[in-house]
Amino acid sequence: MLNINEAKHNAIQGYKRLNEMAMKKLNHGGLLFTFSCSQVIDNQMFLSALTSAAIQTQKNVRVLYQLSQPPDHPYSIFHPEGKYLKGAVLQIN
């Protein structure tokens, strides 16, 4: 059974690899809509994975929008992991 740190590491590596593949496929000016619904990955970790993917692919990436879960998906202040839906719209140059 994975511990929480191993789960976070595996998730971050997966998001990095997945977004690297997508960034490589997009032409200059292309848009990438990317999302995470992982509780163990917070927004900053997700953005770090996207940054790593951009560095690895040597692409200039701009964040056009950051997205989070809608109002019909509330979370408890005592359970911040409940705020698990996150996304970004990226322009790949």
Active site residues: 37
Dist CA 52 CA 54 (whole Å): 5
User: CA torsion 93→69→82→31, rounded to 10°?
Assistant: -20
Residue 69 backbone phi and psi in degrees, to 5: -65, 150
